[in-house]
Amino acid sequence: MVAALGLILALYTPASAAAPPDSSIGTTLDHGFLGLYNLDFTGAQKDFSAWEAEHPDDPVGPVSEAAGCLFSEFNRLGVLESQFYENDTAFSARSKLSPDPAVHDHFQTALDRAQQLARARLSKDAKDRDALFAMTLASGLQADYAALIEKRNLASLHYTKEASIWAQQLLAICNDCSDVLVATGFSKYIIGSMTAPVRWLLRMGGLPGDKQGGIADLRMTAEHGRYLKPFARILLAIAYVRDKDKTRALELLTALRIQFPGNTLFPREIARLTPSVTSAP
């Protein structure tokens, strides 16, 4: 909602942030997203700032900075843990959150800068992949903040629709830009899990629900994404827990724990889920 600076920065091309990476190439953006998943938010923001200094017209830099702000608030407020609640009643009963106003201001300023840069590039080239990717991610981050921190569900649906529209524009010219499928995948899954009347209303508003289609989108990012591959795996694990498929959830969380040893969320959720699995007949 994802490994070295030096000479590698010179190899960056305008499409590289959205396109699948060469496994031999790592950038400070890659470093930054890996830092986020390891809960090293200070290090991640340093990497994003370094990228922005070298690429001041690239909207992916500031939108990544905004992602860092959101991930740090998620961690501080325990948002991701609450997503692992196994039913909507338990999730709805969670405690009211108290977001940090300074973090919100930083988050919004970075988003505004990313969208300004992206729109400037799109005015010159409507098929600019990085600009479309940044617009998709910006709307997705706003949807997450509105829904998961502010509990503004209608606003979140508005941003979710925006993210899906931007994602479809990018996928129309880059069918292997798998990171943006996070934007379509989780919204399809969540809406597809709602009651039939609610799904009908949302479909009339341009937000179709497709639970299995959402899972398929998330799997594509989980397998082929770049910055958001681990995030897609986290979302898949949440979906599996909610669908009572704890074995698959544990497989994903165990792999994430190995990949990101600094993240304390994964061992906690593994410990919480393991008794249910081992006690099953």
Between residues 228 and 197, which one has the greater pLDDT?
Answer: 228
Burial class, 251, CB count within 10 angstroms (exposed 0-12 / middle 13-18 / buried 19+): middle
64 closest CA partner among 107, 102, 104: 107
Split at pLDDT 50, 70, 90, the class of 149 is confident
Q: Where are the domains of the chain?
A: 24-260
Split at pLDDT 50, 70, 90, the class of 73 is very high
Report the pLDDT value the prediction gives residue 243, as an integer from 0 to 100: 84
CATH architecture of 24-260: Alpha Horseshoe (1.25)
Q: Is 188 helix (H, G, I), strand (E, B) or coil?
A: helix
Report the pLDDT value the prediction gives residue 18, as an integer from 0 to 100: 43
7-48: pLDDT as tens digits: 222 222 333 344 433 333 489 999 999 999 999 999 999 999
Q: Examine the pLDDT at 264 and tell me if it is beyond 70.
A: yes
Cβ neighbours of residue 197 closer than 8 Å, sequence gap 6 or more:
none
Q: pTM, whole model, 2 decimals?
A: 0.80
Q: Examine the pLDDT at 191 and tell me if it is beyond 80.
A: no
Q: Examine the pLDDT at 119 and tell me if it is beyond 80.
A: yes
Cβ neighbours of residue 218 closer than 8 Å, sequence gap 6 or more:
181, 182, 185, 186, 189, 232, 235, 236, 239
211-239: pLDDT as tens digits: 777 788 889 999 999 899 998 998 899 88
Mean pLDDT of the chain: 79
Report the pLDDT value the prediction gives residue 155, as an integer from 0 to 100: 82
Q: Examine the pLDDT at 102 and tell me if it is beyond 50.
A: yes
Split at pLDDT 50, 70, 90, the class of 249 is very high
Split at pLDDT 50, 70, 90, the class of 5 is very low
Report the pLDDT value the prediction gives residue 159, as an integer from 0 to 100: 87
Residue range 150-154: average pLDDT? 78
Report the pLDDT value the prediction gives residue 65, as an integer from 0 to 100: 97
Lowest mean pLDDT among 104-118, 160-174, 178-192, 240-254: 178-192
Following DSSP, what letter does each residue of 143-170 receive, concatenated? HHIIIIIS--HHHHHHHHHHHHHHHHHH
b (16+ CB within 10 A) / e for 10-48: eebebebbbbebeeeeebbbbbbbbbbbbbbbebbbbbb
Report the pLDDT value the prediction gives residue 183, as an integer from 0 to 100: 74
Contact 244, 193 (CB under 8 A): no
